[in-house]
Amino acid sequence: MSSQPGQHETVFVVDDDEAVRDSLRWLLEANGYRVECFASAEAFLEGYQPNQIGCLILDVRMQGMSGLELQERLIAANSALPIIFVTGHGDVPMAVSTLKKGAKDFIEKPFDEAELRALVEKMLAMARSESSAVEQQREAQERLAKLTAREKQVLERIIAGRLNKQIADDLGISIKTVEAHRANIMEKLEVNTVADLLRLALSGK
């Protein structure tokens, strides 16, 4: 049995077939997922907030904007929302092209309940991981922003693997001053080891 879905995670369903939307909502809600359904790609774009964690179950062929066009729009907006495409037409070449553009998977109608549930869980795990990485990057950038211009110069050289003496020569300062800068950098970035310092500096890029 999969773990309980997170409270704030949402499975978005975009399909112009009401029967499909209803069956997906029933199936997913019965498994504890929070579900939001949309009858068109346009309606989804109006209602979706980019910071929402979730995944998107998207019909390939719809009236108005197609699923493929919605995928293009999300790519253009740098959305990290994992997409599962739904095709009822056995259109494997089309499904393959969606995967090449970054869709994470596709599923054919009629759905296999266990397969769909496993896919949704996989996509939500991916979305959680992406959200966590974005949050870590934001925190790292906030900490790095506390450094003075000189401390940033010293940090760049620490990352490049240069020794205190080499850094002192590079910047025309004493080794003692380099050591003082290093101590300040470690304190401001709240790290204890050079390995932690490198991890944080790289995650902030």
Whole-model pTM: value is 0.63
pLDDT digits (tens, 9 = 90+) for 1-55: 334 444 478 999 999 989 989 989 998 998 899 999 999 999 999 988 877 889 9
% of the chain at pLDDT higher than 90? 36
pLDDT digits (tens, 9 = 90+) for 101-114: 666 677 777 778 88
Show Cβ contacts of residue 16 under 8 Å, excluding neighbours closer than 6 positions.
39, 40, 59, 62, 63, 64
**Domain 146-203 falls in which CATH fold?**
Arc Repressor Mutant, subunit A (1.10.10)
Identify the CATH homologous superfamily for domain 10-135: Response regulator (3.40.50.2300)
Band of the pLDDT at 93, cuts 50, 70, 90?
low
Q: Is 86 helix (H, G, I), strand (E, B) or coil?
A: strand
Q: What is the pLDDT of residue 5?
A: 46
pLDDT digits (tens, 9 = 90+) for 154-186: 999 998 989 999 999 999 999 999 999 999 999
Ranges of each domain in the chain: 10-135, 146-203
* b/e code 101-138 from CB counts within 10 Å (16+ = b): eebbbbbbeebeeeebbebbbbbbeebeeebeeeeeee
Q: CB of 17 within 8 A of CB of 87?
A: no
